[in-house]
Amino acid sequence: MNRKNVLKILSVVGTRPNFIKIAPLLKEMKRVPQIETFLVHTGQHYDREMSEAFFEDLDIPAPDRRLPVQSGSPASQIGEIMMCLEPVLSQYQPNVVLVVGDVNSTLAAALAAVKARIPVAHVEAGLRSFDRTMPEETNRILTDAVADLLFVSEPSGMENLRREGIHANRMFLVGNVMIDTLRRCVPGADCPTCLTDLGLDESSKTPTPPKYAVLTLHRQGLVDNPQRLMRVWNVMEEIGNEIPIIFPVHPRTRMRLEDAGLKSQRGKGFGNAEGIRMVAPLSYLQFISLQRRAVMVMTDSGGVQEETTVLGVPCLTLRENTERPITVTQGT
Ligand code: UD1
Ligand code: UDP
């Protein structure tokens, strides 16, 4: 093929939800001969269970470049990603930089690209919680402000962008890539051994399937505030007396729970429907398998709100607002 006709798209990912969102896009891009892809992993999430496990479950090709960034304060994380990405952009010279979601890696990559005068495409543009205390909200606003192409997942996003003065020819309502991944994976995410691994086999002695709730928590405004965290924990202990709660614990939350001296009642049996069972973060297929059979999900995760909507599982969103109003108007 004439190299002049090749469209070079450099995608940047860094966190768990980014991997889930980029998977279907990489698959589609691979089918188009004129597109050449290059994948950069910033390193923002680096534990095996927060990173590699998703590449394996979702069949994502290994990144072409890994940046050595990892955790840090917002400014150091964003600044380091920008500095590490600059030479990669200058070497690879992409026609477009593709970013997904609302995490620090998303904003950092968008800023690095715009400074290198490379057009930016943002997938999951336009979402707004109208809560600027959320780090993700400023990431969304700033990424959208510098992006050239804005791909929007739900109608509220189009309205928000219009209100912010984004020209109609830059925004496209395209649907939700996280749900594309979900739809592709649900048939394979029916993994009884996943539930057994979580100790849910005890109830398999009874004729009815095990009843349990699922909990995820990681939003900074909740888990980094000891009073709020304690309030939620106390409520969960009460609910845990009614129905077992499976709680795959995000690394940020694990640290905060340890700081607060909170522990799950691991010893208690599920037959007695007691307690909160804390486990390490689950792989995607394990988590979907768990989620789809849950009696209810309690979460502050953006992606999980959307997934429960599609899976038809009741979801209690443990937040005062959501940037995904469709999960309230059409959700569960
Ligand atoms: C980030 C995103 C958040 C997103 C979430 C998805 C930002 C500002 N926040 O939050 O929007 O919903 O990812 O899960 O970008 N850590 C580990 N191992 C890891 C990753 C993190 O131990 O693999 C620990 C580190 O101590 C780190 C802390 O978790 O300081 C927080 O990680 P960070 O990536 O800064 O933010 P998240 O809370 O993961
Ligand atoms: N998820 C997972 N394992 C877990 C918890 C969540 O695979 O133990 C998946 C979940 O199905 C969803 C995504 O992670 O697809 C959501 O990511 P997260 O909650 O970390 O971030 P957010 O969506 O809030 O940005």
More confident residue, 111 or 207: 111
Total Cβ atoms within 10 A of residue 2: 6
More confident residue, 272 or 282: 282
What Cα–Cα distance (Å) separates residue 54 from each residue in 12, 20, 46, 162, 190? 15, 7, 11, 34, 17
pLDDT value at position 207? 61
More confident residue, 196 or 170: 170
pLDDT value at position 144? 98
pLDDT beyond 80 at 232: yes
Residue tagged 């995410």 (tokens): 189
pLDDT beyond 60 at 273: no
Ligand 1, pocket-test mutation among 12, 13, 15, most atoms within 8 A of CB = 15
pLDDT beyond 60 at 202: no
Positive or negative, the Cα torsion across 232, 238, 243, 244? Answer: positive
Using one digit for the tens of pLDDT, what is the confidence trace for 11-65?
Answer: 999 999 999 999 999 999 999 999 999 999 999 999 999 999 999 999 999 999 9
pLDDT beyond 80 at 321: yes
Residue 201 alpha carbon to ligand 1 centre in Å = 31
Paired sense of beta strands 149-152 and 245-248, if any: unpaired
Cα–Cα distance between 258 and 7 in angstroms, integer? 48
Cα–Cα distance between 228 and 197 in angstroms, integer? 31
Q: Out of 41, 45, 122, 218, which one is annotated catalytic?
A: 218
pLDDT value at position 272? 37
pLDDT beyond 50 at 168: yes
pTM as predicted: 0.95
Using one digit for the tens of pLDDT, what is the confidence trace for 87-121?
Answer: 999 999 999 999 999 999 999 999 999 999 999 99
- Averaged pLDDT, 265-284: 69
Ligand 1 pocket check for 221: Cβ under 6 Å: no
Residue 304 alpha carbon to ligand 2 centre in Å = 6
Helix (H) or strand (E) holding 159: helix 155-163
Q: Whose CA is nearest to atom 14 of ligand 1?
A: 16
Q: Which ligand is nearest to the CA of 217?
A: 2
The three-state secondary structure class of 35 is strand
pLDDT band at 8 (very low <50, low <70, confident <90, very high): very high
Ligand 2 pocket check for 153: Cβ under 6 Å: no
pLDDT beyond 70 at 264: no
Q: In what order do the strands lie in the sheet with 7-13?
A: 65-66, 35-41, 7-13, 96-100, 120-125, 149-152, 171-173
pLDDT value at position 268? 46
pLDDT value at position 269? 40
Closest CA to 216 of 319, 330, 72: 319
pLDDT beyond 60 at 265: no
Active site residue 41: no
